[in-house]
Amino acid sequence: MIINLTTLPGDGIGPEVTEQAVGILQAVAEQFHHNLKITEKNVGGAALVASNDPLPPDTIEACLASGAVLLGAVGGPKFDSYPAKLRPEAGLLRLRKELGVFANLRPAICISGLENLSPLRSDVVGGTDVMIVRELLGGLYFGERSTKGDSGRRRAIDTMAYSENEIERISRIAFDLARKRKKKLTSVDKANVLDCSRLWREVVNRIATEFPDVQLSHMYVDSAAMALVSRPSQFDVILTENMFGDILSDQAGAVVGSLGLLPSASVGGKVGLYEPIHGSAPDIAGQGIANPLGAILSAAMLLRHSFQLEAEAASIEAAVRDVLAEGHRTRDLAGKAQAFVTTSEMGDLLKGRIQARQTVAS
């Protein structure tokens, strides 16, 4: 198979972690006899510096012509003075819209042996394996907005809006994922206050009739936030709207111990977009200490969701578990007195495990 990708390394630690993810994809392609084709383009602050546009036309063109897009990270404090429409994050929002990716999949798994990284007790966090399905193209981030004067004082307005169609399509993705997992889905809203959430709950209930084998429950977002830290292992799939999903997925990352471990997939449109959920971390950029596992696990999701290469994706995930079980840690995972491996050393360790596993399997 030809695996045709566009990579967008972006800003901060983005290029470092993307380089390691690409190296893993190359190792997997060699082991499973695929042809990996990669086109690299600018996005975010790197694109601003090069062309005064956080999402240049040639980047959009390359992404739409590929089978999937692998993104590193965008943003940094040096771009804070730019107008809102030129900020690196504005380029990312435009990219999601151009690709039409309305479903953001964010798994948060407490990997066995890493329970001590969580701020929660091991007996509370152990066994946590949650998939957050976040609607990505609606809600407050894309609603009508304005800033106007009011008696000499400015007043800002952001509008949360959802159509039945938008809720239906994200719901079906979440139910389908739950059907393949533990058959439990929790829909998170604020239906006691918001009209948007009341419509959300009504539509989710209707779609649930198409999935009678999936157990559906509803939670208000504030209750869900509390439950994520008091009993995180109770959740299987969480379905929610854009802003709630943004907040809860970062919270889930903290619960399982490190944002550096967490991947994401944005799917449902013309081309899937895959990225670690950590930011650009400019304070550690260029030091070789960034954790590449979020980007590498995003590459596994890319193989699974955009190319239906389950065995190849599973080989990456198994290699990550093996290397962590052997005690190898990047700086963010290591204790104060524990030695740690560099960004590239972690990539090399994983390549070795992938090659060894496939040699045994063949």
pLDDT over 80 (residue 149):
no
- Catalytic annotation, residues: 141, 190, 222, 246, 250
Structure tokens at 157: 């307005």
To the nearest 10°, report the CA torsion of 95, 101, 103, 105. Answer: -60
Q: Are 176 and 168 in contact (CB under 8 A)?
A: no
pLDDT at 155: 87
How much is the pLDDT for 210?
98
Sheet holding 68-73, edge to edge: 35-40, 2-10, 68-73, 272-274, 265-267, 103-109, 129-135, 237-240, 184-189, 215-220
At 337, is the pLDDT very low, low, confident or very high (cuts 50, 70, 90)?
A: low
CATH number corresponding to 1-101+269-362 = 3.40.718.10
pLDDT given at position 128: 95
29-36: long-range contacts at Cβ-Cβ below 8 A with a sequence spacing of 24 or more?
Answer: 29/3, 31/315, 31/354, 31/355, 31/358, 32/309, 32/311, 32/312, 32/315, 32/358, 34/1, 34/2, 34/3, 34/309, 34/312, 35/1, 35/2, 35/3, 36/3, 36/5
Helix (H) or strand (E) holding 108: strand 103-109
Q: Identify the H or E element spanning 237.
A: strand 237-240
The residue-averaged pLDDT of 193-211 equals 98
With cut-offs at 50, 70 and 90, classify the pLDDT of residue 200. very high
- Element of type H or E holding 72: strand 68-73
Report pLDDT digits (tens) over 34-69: 999 999 999 999 999 999 999 999 999 999 999 999
pLDDT of residue 359: 60
- So where are the chain's domains? 1-101+269-362, 105-258
Hey, what CATH class is 105-258 in? alpha beta
Segment 246-265, tens digit of pLDDT: 999 989 989 998 788 999 99
Task: State pLDDT tens for residues 204-248.
Answer: 999 999 999 999 999 999 999 999 999 999 999 999 999 999 999
* pLDDT value of residue 358: 61
pLDDT of residue 361: 56
Q: How many CA atoms lie within 13 A of 344 on its CB side?
A: 6
Which percentage of the chain shows pLDDT scores above 70?
Answer: 98
Predicted confidence (pLDDT) at residue 201 exceeds the cutoff of 60: yes
pLDDT at 322 > cutoff 80: yes
pLDDT > 60? residue 360: no
For residues 334 and 166, the model is more confident at 166
Are 183 and 214 in contact by the 8 Å Cβ rule? The answer is: yes
Hey, do 1-101+269-362 and 105-258 end up sharing a CATH topology, with the first three levels equal? Answer: yes
Q: pLDDT averaged over the chain?
A: 94
Provide, rounded to the nearest whole percent, the portion of the chain with pLDDT above 90. Answer: 84
Model pLDDT for residues 66-123, shown as the tens digit of each residue: 999 999 999 999 898 898 889 999 999 899 999 999 999 999 999 988 998 899 999 9
Q: How confident is the model over 297-320, as a mean pLDDT?
A: 97
